[in-house]
Structure 1
Amino acid sequence: MADITSRRLVKLYKEHISDVSSTDYPGVYPGEDNSWDLEDFKEVSQKFICMDDQRANSGILQHLKIDFQYVTDERIEFDLVGVDASIANAFRRILIAEVPTIAIERVYVYNNTSVINDEVLSHRLGLVPLHINPRIMDDAPTDYQTNSTDRNTIVFTLDVECTNRSNVKAGETDPEKLYVNSNVFAESIVWVPQGEQGSLFASDPPRAVNPKILLAKLRPGQEIHLEMHAVKSIGRDHTKFSPVATATYRLMPHIQLLKSGDRYDEANRRVEKLEMRNQEMAEKFRDAFGEGVIEVKKERGKYFVKVKDPRRDNVTRRVLELPEFEDMVKLGRVRDWFIFSVESVGQYPAPELLPVSVSVLRGKIRNLKADVERLKREWEGSVDANRLERERDVDMEG
C-alpha cells in the first residue's frame, strides 16, 4: 500500500468525499495525453485474443493483476488491480447475466393435488440449481417442439405420493414420522437419460445441487406427477440461469497515518506506525476502525498503532469524528483496486467462474473484431466501386 499515489485515491473526509472524478473531463490527469490511439488499442485487445483458451485466460489474468485472497468451492474473493470501473463492472455483469448454465425451463404437470398451484410449483422447480456441466450441452432450441434433442434438453421427472406410515406410536404429531413423503425435497427429482446422455453423464449424472431444497408439503392422498425439461441459457434470459448468488466488488480502503507537523507537508508526515500518548488512546484509535484493521504494539514502554489489514475496514469514518485524532490519519479508497466477492449457486465451483467469464469476454471481443473487419471490407469495397465508376466515366468522356 506504500506505493499508492494521491492520484489513485478517492479521498474521504468527515462530511464529504473528493477526487471522485473531474466533472468536465473524467479520468484526465494534468499533463497527460489520454487521447485514443489505435496502436494502444491493438496491444490491449491482443491480450484478450489468443490462439487457445489456456493461453488467453492466463494472459488476461496476468494483465489484469488478479490476486486471489480466499478460495473455496462455494466462494472466492480476489483483487482486481490496475483497471477502471468499466472493466470491473463488465466482469460483474458477465458473471451475473452471461455465464451459461442449465435450468428447468418447461414443466408438464400430469397430476398435482398438493396445496401449491401448478404455476407456483413450476416456478419453484425452475429455481432449483442443477448440477450439470453446461459446456457439453448445446444452447436451448429455438423451437423446442421440433428441435429438442439429447444435446440440448435434459429430462427429469418428479413422482411422489404421500401415504400413512404403519406402526406409528399413539399421540405422535411429527409429520415426518406420521407420513411418507410429507416433505418433497429436490432429491426426489429423477433424471431420465435421453439418447446418448446415459454414457455422456455416466460419471457425473445430472441432479439438484442441494438435495434438501424443499419443494412442497404433502398429506395422505395428495400426490405430484410431472415431467421437466432443462435447457441451457444465461441469466440475461432469466435469473434462474445465473450461476452466482452474489457478485459484488468494492474499492480497497486506504489508511494513511500522519505524525504531527506542517499540515501542508504531508509527504514528510507519513509514517508506518504512529506513537500514541498511552494505551487507552491507542486502543481507542484501534476501536474506531473495524476489527483487525489496526494493530496496537508496545515498544520500549511506548504504544504505537499500525495499519494491519486495511481490506477489512468498512470505511465508516468514525475516527474522523474523534477530536483527539484530528489530522492524524487520512482515509481514502484506491480507485483502480477492486475487491471482488463471488458466491457460486452450485452449477460451477466458484474458482471456475472467473475463467469462464474471461472466455465470455474474449468471445465478445472476437465478435466485435469480426464486425469491424466486415465493415472495413464493405467500406473498402464501396470505395473501390466508386473509383471504378469514376474511371469508367473518364473513359467515356475521352
Structure 2
Amino acid sequence: MPHKPPTEEEHEARKLVGINYETITNVHATDIPGHYPGEDHSWDINKFRDGFKVQIHQNDPYEASFSLIGCDPSIANAFRRIMIANIPTLAIDQVFIYNNKSVIQDEVLASRLGLIPFTGGREGLQDFMKWRAKDDEPKDYNTVGLELCVKCENNPDASPNETDPRKLYKHAHVYAKDIVVTLAGRQVEFFSGENAIRPVNPDILIAKLRPGQEIDIKMHMIKGVGSNHAKFSPVATASYRLMPVINITQPILGRDAEKFQKCFPEGVIGLERVTREEAQQVGSGYEGHEGELKAVVVDPRRDTVSRECLRHEEFKDKVKLSRRRDHFIYLVESTGQIESEQIFLESVQHLKAKAKKFEIQLKNMVR
C-alpha cells in the first residue's frame, strides 16, 4: 500500500505540544529521519530557509521582543546562552579602596560598584577598547579609570526642624552619578561629549553616609563576558518561551464567554457578537444565537498557559491548549551598554563564528 503523505492539518499537529488538565503530551519532536515510514525528514537548507521567519514584536533600546519561527530548540537556546554569557561589555573589575568609613564592608561595596551598568560611545566601547589579560598593564585601550571620592558633612543651610537627611547633610546619599571617569590617552577621542562613559541610571544608590563618614575609591573598568562574571552580561534577562496555541473547538457563548475571557490574561480572549450569517449557518453551533456574545482568540502570544480554563466543567471539550514547538518568543532586556536589538545581532555573529571554527576543526580531524 503506497504511503499517504500527511495533510497540512496533520503536519501542523505534529508541531504542537498538548497542554492538558494534568498532563503534557507530544513533547518529543518527530521531524527526524526514519520516524515516519515513507517520509523524508532529512535536514535541507532550502527547506529551512523557506520555513524560517523572524517577527519583531517590540524594539526599544532597553527591551526587545521577537519571535524565531521554524528553528530547532538547540539553536534557539544557543542564542539565549550567547546573549547571557558571551557578548563582551565593560564593567568595573578592580576596586582600590583608600578610605571607606561607611557602614558597608569593603567587599560588599566593591561588589555593588561592579554591578553598576555603564554606557558610552558604541565605537569606543566595542571597537577601541580591547581585552586585557590578567597580567597586562593598564593602557588607554584596555582600561578605563574611575574615581569615587565623597565626604558627608553637615549642611549649614538646613532648617533647624529638618528631618530629611538628604537636606540635613551634604552627600548623605552616594549615587552612581558621583562616580567620576578619568580618561587617558586616546580615550578622550572616543568618550567625550555625547559618547562619555556614564552610569546607565545615575540614581543608583551606592551607600548612605553621615557626617564624619567618607569614601575614597579608585576603580578600573575592563572588558569581560558574562561567563566570567554576571556583571559583564549585557542583559538583565534573556529568555524565550513557546508560542501558545488556543483552539476553541465548540462555541462559547453568553456568560460562559465572559467567564472564559477572565481565565486568560488581558488581551488574549475577546468578545464579539454572533453575526446573522453565523446564526444561519447550519452546523456552526451558533444557530439561534444571533447577537449573543461569543469568545474568540485575539492574541494568544499574551497567554501564560495557566490552564485555568481547564478547571471549569463548562469548558470541557470546548477548548484545546497547546504550544508550538518551533515558535520561540524571546524577551531581551538590555542593561543599557548595548541596545537590546544589537545584543541579538551580536549573538548571531558569535554563533556564526563558532560554526566556522568548528567546520575548520572538523575538516582537520577527518584529513
Which of the five TM-score ranges fits, normalised by the shorter chain?
0.7 to 0.9
Structure-2 change in CA distance of 1:107 and 1:275 (3 Å):
closer
Aligned residue in 1 for 2:75 = 87
| Deviation for aligned residue 1:63 | 7.8
Percent of paired sites with the same residue: 42
- Counterpart selection for 2:293 from 258, 281, 303: 303
DSSP 3-state at the match of 1:370: helix
- Counterpart selection for 2:302 from 286, 291, 312: 312
Is structure 2 residue 341 aligned with structure 1 residue 351?
A: yes
DSSP 3-state at the match of 1:316: coil
Structure-2 change in CA distance of 1:228 and 1:296 (3 Å):
same
Aligned residue in 2 for 1:161 = 151
Q: 1:138–1:152: 8 Å Cα contact kept in structure 2? A: yes
Aligned residues: 337
Q: Distance in 2 between matches of 1:330 and 1:9?
A: 11
Give the aligned residue type for 1:235.
G
Q: 1:13–1:331: 8 Å Cα contact kept in structure 2? A: yes
Aligned residue in 1 for 2:210 = 219
Give the aligned residue type for 1:72.
D
- Counterpart selection for 1:364 from 347, 354, 359: 354
Q: Distance in 1 between matches of 2:32 and 2:16?
A: 12
Q: Distance in 1 between matches of 2:308 and 2:159?
A: 61
| Deviation for aligned residue 1:172 | 1.7
| Deviation for aligned residue 1:240 | 0.2
Aligned residue in 2 for 1:262 = none
DSSP 3-state at the match of 1:80: strand
| Deviation for aligned residue 1:301 | 2.3
Q: Going by fraction, where is helix more abundant, 1 or 2? A: 1
Aligned residue in 2 for 1:326 = 316
Structure-2 change in CA distance of 1:288 and 1:117 (3 Å):
closer
Q: Distance in 2 between matches of 1:127 and 1:337?
A: 33
Q: 1:96–1:235: 8 Å Cα contact kept in structure 2? A: yes
Computed over aligned residues only, the root mean square deviation of the Cα atoms, in angstroms, reads 2.3
- Counterpart selection for 2:16 from 2, 6, 9: 9
| Deviation for aligned residue 1:91 | 0.8
Q: 1:78–1:341: 8 Å Cα contact kept in structure 2? A: yes
Q: Distance in 2 between matches of 1:127 and 1:256?
A: 45
Residues 216-271 of structure 1 show CA distances to partners (whole Å, capped at 9, x for unaligned) of 11111211111100000100000000111111111111111223xxxxxxxxxxxx
Residues 123-174 of structure 1 show CA distances to partners (whole Å, capped at 9, x for unaligned) of 1111110113431244432244x43211111111111111111122112221
DSSP 3-state at the match of 2:14: helix
Structure-2 change in CA distance of 1:17 and 1:371 (3 Å):
same
- Counterpart selection for 1:30 from 28, 33, 36: 36
Aligned residue in 1 for 2:280 = none
Aligned residue in 2 for 1:242 = 233
DSSP 3-state at the match of 1:5: helix
Aligned residue in 2 for 1:285 = 260
- In structure 2, runs of 5+ residues without a counterpart are 1-7, 276-289
| Deviation for aligned residue 1:209 | 1.0
Q: Distance in 1 between matches of 2:156 and 2:32?
A: 74
Is structure 2 residue 83 aligned with structure 1 residue 115?
A: no
Is structure 2 residue 196 aligned with structure 1 residue 205?
A: yes
Q: Distance in 2 between matches of 1:99 and 1:64?
A: 24
Structure-2 change in CA distance of 1:319 and 1:167 (3 Å):
closer
- In structure 1, runs of 5+ residues without a counterpart are 48-59, 260-273, 380-398
- Correspondence 1:27-106 to 2 at 5 A: 29-31=35-37, 32-34=39-41, 40=44, 43=45, 64-106=52-94
Structure-2 change in CA distance of 1:128 and 1:63 (3 Å):
farther
Moved more, 122-131 or 286-295: 286-295
| Deviation for aligned residue 1:120 | 1.4
DSSP 3-state at the match of 2:163: coil
Q: Distance in 2 between matches of 1:185 and 1:323?
A: 56
Structure-2 change in CA distance of 1:21 and 1:27 (3 Å):
farther
Aligned residue in 2 for 1:185 = 175
Structure-2 change in CA distance of 1:171 and 1:251 (3 Å):
same
| Deviation for aligned residue 1:275 | 5.6
Residues 164-223 of structure 1 show CA distances to partners (whole Å, capped at 9, x for unaligned) of 111221122211111111111010111111111111222411111111111111111211
- Counterpart selection for 1:258 from 227, 246, 249: 249
DSSP 3-state at the match of 1:76: strand
Using structure 1 for the length normalisation, give the TM-score: 0.79
Structure-2 change in CA distance of 1:234 and 1:292 (3 Å):
same
